[in-house]
């Protein structure tokens, strides 16, 4: 499946790369192989635990592509991680 980056997502990735070393490749790996997928307000959130936090990638499926809307890292794992949800 093709991954499409919005301008906003590219800018956010650059910010997180300078802060925590989160690379574009790492984001795409989490998107393709998330530890968990959450559905929020008709969009998907692929997430994976990283260090003492959580990398969250907000995306939508459009045709045969995943369009990344935004991404961020948070240390509030308990707020977002859903124990009874799908885990790959």
pLDDT in tens, 41-70: 889 999 999 999 999 999 999 999 999 999
The CA dihedral of 12, 51, 67, 6, to the nearest 10 degrees, is 10
What is the residue extent of each domain of the chain? 2-80
* Alpha helices for the chain (secondary structure H): 7-20, 24-32, 77-80
Q: Please report the pLDDT score of residue 88 as a whole number.
A: 46
Q: What is the mean pLDDT of residues 18-35?
A: 97
pLDDT in tens, 71-85: 999 999 999 998 875
Q: Is the pLDDT of residue 22 over 70?
A: yes
Q: The whole model's pTM is what?
A: 0.90
DSSP 76: -
CA atoms 17, 46, 4, 69: torsion sign: negative
The CATH H-level superfamily of 2-80 is RelE-like (3.30.2310.20)
């Amino acid at each position: 499946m093709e991954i499409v980056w919005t301008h906003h997502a590219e800018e956010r990735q650059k910010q997180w790369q300078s802060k925590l070393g989160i690379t574009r490749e790492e984001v795409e790996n989490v998107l393709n192989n998330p530890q968990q997928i959450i559905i929020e307000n008709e969009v998907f959130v692929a997430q994976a635990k990283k260090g003492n936090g959580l990398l969250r990638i907000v995306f939508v499926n459009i045709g045969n592509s995943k369009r990344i809307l935004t991404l961020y890292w948070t240390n509030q794992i308990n707020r977002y991680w859903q124990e009874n949800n799908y885990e790959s």
